[in-house]
Amino acid sequence: MPSSADKPEPFDPLGIAAAMGEWCCLLKAAQELRDVDAEMMDTMLEADAAGTTPVGPEAATKVRSIANLMRSLNLDPEAIRRNEPETMRRLEAACLGCTERRRCARELWVGTDAGTYQEFCPNAAPLDHLRRLRRGSC
C-alpha cells in the first residue's frame, strides 16, 4: 500500500515546486561561491599547498571573519586588499590558522569583537598597527 509520501501533491502533481526548491538551494550555493573572490581563493590555495590548512567552506568562513572584524574596527578590507595585497594575505593566512574560530564567530555575531579581539585574535597586533596608520600616527 503506497504511503502518503508516495502520492503527488494535489496542486503540484509533477513535482515542479520540489524541483524549484532544489534549484533555489543550488543558486544560493553558487552565490556563496561567487562571494569568495579570486584573491581570497588564492590565499586559501597557497595555505593548502603549504600544508598549513585545508581548503573548504570552513577556510572561507575564517577568511570572511577577518574582513568582518576589520569593518568593525573601521578598516576597509577591500582598500587594504587593493593597496596592500601582501598585508591582506598575511592577515588572511593568520586567520586561517586561528584556533579561536568559535569565539571569533560569537564576538562578531554579538557585536563585541571590536572590544575583545585583542584577547584572542592572532591578527591583533597587525590590526592595531593598521588602525594607528589610519589615524595618522605610527
Cα 24 from chain centroid? 21
Mind listing the pLDDT tens digit for each residue in 61-89?
555 788 999 999 999 999 998 999 999 98
Q: What are the cell numbers at 105?
A: 564567530
Number of Cβ within a 10 Å radius of residue 48: 15
Query: Highest-confidence range of 2-11, 55-64, 104-113, by mean pLDDT?
Result: 104-113
- CA quadruple 126, 69, 95, 63: dihedral positive or negative? negative
Mind listing the pLDDT tens digit for each residue in 99-118?
888 898 889 889 999 999 99
pTM: 0.55
φ and ψ at residue 48, rounded to 5 degrees = -65, -40
Contacts of 122 (CB under 8 A, 6+ apart): 94, 95, 97, 98
